[in-house]
Amino acid sequence: MKNNDVEQVDKEQLIPNQEIENKKSDFDNNTSQNPNETHQQEDTEKKEEKRFLSNKKFKKFDKARYREQKCREWEIKIVNQNMKDDKLGLYIHIPFCDRKCDYCDFVSYSMDENAQHDFQQALFKEIDMYRTQCEKMVFNSIYIGGGTPSVMYEGFIYELARKVYSTFHFEGDIEFTIEVNPNSVTYDKLLEYLRAGVNRVSVGVQCIDSKILKNVGRFQTIENIDNTFDLLKKMGFINTSADVMIGLPNQSLDAVKDTINYLIDKNVKHISVYTLQLEENTPLYKNVKMGKIKPLGDEACIKMYNTVTKMLKENGFIRYEVSNFAIPTYESRHNFKYWKDVDYLGLGVSAHSFLENYRFSNTCRLDEYIDMLNNGQFPIVNKEFIRDSERRTEYIMLSLRLATGLNLEKFRKRFKEDLLKTRAKQIHDLIKNGYLYIEDGFLKIAPQHFYVSNRIILELL
């Protein structure tokens, strides 16, 4: 979306739902130069697949094989698409929540209208400060995360989008994601997002059993979630994502299965599955230490993860990263940038950036963030030049998390190191024991061992 589009969006009036949906489907085909063409192609493919799968002559085994093969094809497609992407991503962190969940150690403050306005002013100042520096840079994704962006006062996201469009350069289609919380989503807000150009919504579902969530200090009901997905459907948001947590205290395997089935039923296109992690300095950590809450054991988590993987695979999802699953073409373009050699700019409290070989991050404190910007300073508190040795570690760590794996040739060129030689023994042992495999010049973690990827990555550093 270019700057001159803003006017147009602005003028858009409320249109019948059906029309929005038609319009939105264009937004979704964000990975190709010619959306219409891809759309048609996709349709024929789908029809063909349907025909194939409904043919009773084929046994279950063949169908599974067919799916497998399709997945491979998609994987290769993804690689090609995302390898080419060299445009920047823009991340904006909204540090507000209704209430912080007990397990959360991300930066967020409780809601307070005044604080939100102060934050807005500071954020806009920060955006202005990057105007010159980013003059020559081209962006193609926006991600508004948090915290809970949907708790911001009405009109905030729209203003923010206008500010962003008028400051940074975008080219081609944009992937514009916003994270929302089922509690704070309203019709008006979604409409505002639509007008702002948002075309991807990530819903913090976590688990559909409200009792389990209540236990870890997250208050949301199935009615909230239902309502959110109903609204999203009505408003024509097709590219939807959901965050799911596994390994929550008292969570049963059935609760996880129910959640996944629910999301499949709601036609969600992208699912991120995170295992609960006990972070120090969180209420949950304290509760566990005091024995009030018993965390789930490793075996239960593994079972959940494997079950989720299997269910999603059966329903056409591809695991393109350790914890991210998507219906092909619905992979998150923005997240890919974190895993690839692509720059991104992070704005807002505690946001992280990677620009021109520097990684830097903003202050974690809202008051400090506002003060620094009021004094005309960048709110940066950490800045580190990423030398090749560090970049190498990052490269291995990030690329192996992806299903597509590590491009050995690219690695060799980039770091003047042939991993197959420098880590010959480790790779040999890992391949021998089935943890790694090499395919078409890519080093990959075997899918069944994704859950221990850290260990495997460690061997290669």
Window of 64-72, 131-139, 282-290, 352-360 that interacts with other proteins by CB under 8 A: 352-360
Out of 344, 369, 411, 442, name the contact with other proteins by CB under 8 A: 344
378 binds other proteins (CB under 8 A): no
Binder among 149, 197, 236, 346 for other proteins (CB under 8 A): 346
Closer of 66 and 415 to other proteins (Cβ): 415
Backbone angles phi, psi at 114, to 5 degrees: -60, -45
* Shortest spacing between CB 202 and other proteins, in angstroms: 12
| Binding flags for other proteins, 436-455, as an x/- string (CB under 8 A) | ---------------xxxxx
Residues 98-157 that bind other proteins (CB under 8 A): 106, 145
Which of 199, 335, 399, 404 is in the footprint of other proteins by CB under 8 A? 335
Site size for other proteins (CB under 8 A): 48
Among 27, 74, 91, 237, binds other proteins (CB under 8 A): 91
Min dist. Cβ of residue 53 to other proteins (A) = 31
By CB under 8 A, residue 352 contacts other proteins: yes
CB nearer other proteins, residue 222 or residue 302: 302
Residue in the block written with tokens 């304290």: 286
Q: Of the two residues 187 and 358, which places its CB atom closer to other proteins in the complex? A: 358
Binding of other proteins by 323 (CB under 8 A): yes
Shorter beta-carbon distance to other proteins: residue 164 or 238:
164
Nearer to other proteins, 156 or 305 (CB): 305
Asked if residue 224 binds other proteins (CB under 8 A), the reply is no
Q: Which of 288, 322, 420, 431 binds other proteins (CB under 8 A)?
A: 322
Helix 253-265 with 298-314: angle, nearest 10 deg = 20
CB of 211 to other proteins, least distance (A): 24
Interface residue with other proteins, options 353, 363, 399, 407 (CB under 8 A)? 353
Q: Is 354 a binder of other proteins (CB under 8 A)? A: yes
The secondary structure of the chain, three-state, reads CCCCHHHHHHHCCCCCHHHHHHHHHHHHCCCCCCHHHHHHHHHHHHHHHHHHHHCCCCCHHHHHHHHHHHHHHHHHHHHHHHHHCCCEEEEEEECEECCCCCCCCCCCEECCHHHHHHHHHHHHHHHHHCCCCCCCCEEEEEEEEECCHHHCCCCHHHHHHHHHHHHCEEEEEEEEEEEECCCCCCHHHHHHHHHHCCCEEEEEEECCCHHHHHHCCCCCCHHHHHHHHHHHHHHCCCCEEEEEEECCCCCCHHHHHHHHHHHHHCCCCEEEEEECCCCCCCHHHHHHHCCCCCCCCHHHHHHHHHHHHHHHHHCCCEEEECCEEECCCCCCHHHHHHHCCCCEEEEECCCEEEECCEEEEECCCHHHHHHHHHCCCCCEEEEEECCHHHHHHHHHHHHHHECCCEEHHHHHHHHCCCHHHHCHHHHHHHHHCCCEEEECCEEEECHHHHHHHHHHHHHHC
CA distance 152 to 192: 12
How far is 277 from 213, CA to CA, in rounded Å?
Answer: 15
CB of 301 to other proteins, least distance (A): 6
Site for other proteins in 250-279 (CB under 8 A): 272, 274-275, 277
Among 165, 168, 338, 369, binds other proteins (CB under 8 A): 338
At closest approach, how far in Å is the CB of 273 from other proteins?
8
Q: Give the shortest CB-298-to-other proteins separation in angstroms.
A: 5
204 forms part of the interface with other proteins (CB under 8 A): no
Contacts of 359-363 with CB under 8 Å at 24 or more apart are 359/383, 359/384, 359/386, 360/384, 362/93
CA distance 229 to 226: 5
Choose between 307 and 361: whose C-beta lies nearer to other proteins. Answer: 361
Q: Do 305 and 451 touch, CB atoms closer than 8 A?
A: yes
When binding is defined by CB under 8 A, the residue of 10, 73, 188, 298 that contacts other proteins is 298
User: What tokens appear for 176 in the block?
Assistant: 């514009």
- Closest approach, Cβ 72 to other proteins, in A, equals 24
Using CB under 8 A, pick the residue from 191, 288, 398, 420 that binds other proteins.
398
CB atoms within 10 A of CB 220: 22
Among 190, 248, 301, 327, binds other proteins (CB under 8 A): 301
422 touching other proteins, by CB under 8 A = no
**Does residue number 1 form part of the binding site for other proteins (CB under 8 A)?**
no
Q: How many residues does the chain have?
A: 461
Task: Give least dist CB 361 to other proteins, A.
Answer: 7
Binding site for other proteins (CB under 8 A): 89, 91, 93, 106, 145, 272, 274-275, 277, 298-299, 301-302, 305, 322-323, 335, 337-339, 344, 346, 350-354, 359, 361, 382, 384, 390, 393-394, 397-398, 429, 433, 435, 451-458, 461
